[in-house]
Amino acid sequence: NIAFCQRALGRYVTARRTFRRVVENPEGLASSQLDDSKAFVAELDKLIVHVALTLDPPAAQLTVDGRPLTAVTEAGATVYVALPAGSSAAGPTDKAFNLELDPGVHLFRAVRAGHQDAFVSRTYKPGEKTTLALHLDTLPARISIQSEPLQAIVRVDGREAGLAPIDI
């Protein structure tokens, strides 16, 4: 019943996971219910969006629709899915990975210290297979230099930058 509700709400990734658990452990189900569950898994496989995502730099924290990602291994393959709101997970650390989403509009947000946040909104059709590259630009750094004795010459990459103390 839970899988039927998830499917009706358009949460195809979650519904497929629930139906797969039912198929793996069919105790107490009639054969017709098991056949129906297998048919729903096949139907949902055709509706789920598959995104081959590239993240640069790799260790950036990525959320989809404000939700963190987690790795799920099903049918011998590891993919990432967005967790329910309020969950937390480490998320992907690889530069390239596969992501499964429900069809519709999704907001991707990638953040990492020292880099400009990346925001991308995409709309996906049912069953779409696509790619997405997220690149975070490096932010300029500031450095404050003090010296003893005062008024020492500060060089950066072999070039004189001024006298200490200095902010660059």
> What is the percentage of the chain residues whose pLDDT exceeds 90?
54
* Omega before 84 within 30 of 0, i.e. cis: no
Burial class of residue 143 in the structure, from the number of CB atoms within 10 Å of its CB (0-12 exposed, 13-18 middle, 19+ buried): exposed
SS3 18: helix
- Over residues 95-101, the mean pLDDT reads 91
pLDDT tens digits for range 64-75: 998 888 888 876
Burial class of residue 3 in the structure, from the number of CB atoms within 10 Å of its CB (0-12 exposed, 13-18 middle, 19+ buried): buried
Location of structure tokens 């992907």: 92
Instruction: Give residue 95's pLDDT.
Output: 86
pLDDT tens digits for range 24-34: 998 888 999 99
Instruction: Give residue 32's pLDDT.
Output: 92
pLDDT tens digits for range 113-158: 989 999 999 999 999 999 999 999 998 888 899 999 888 999 888 8
CA trace torsion 78, 48, 12, 80 (10° rounding): 30
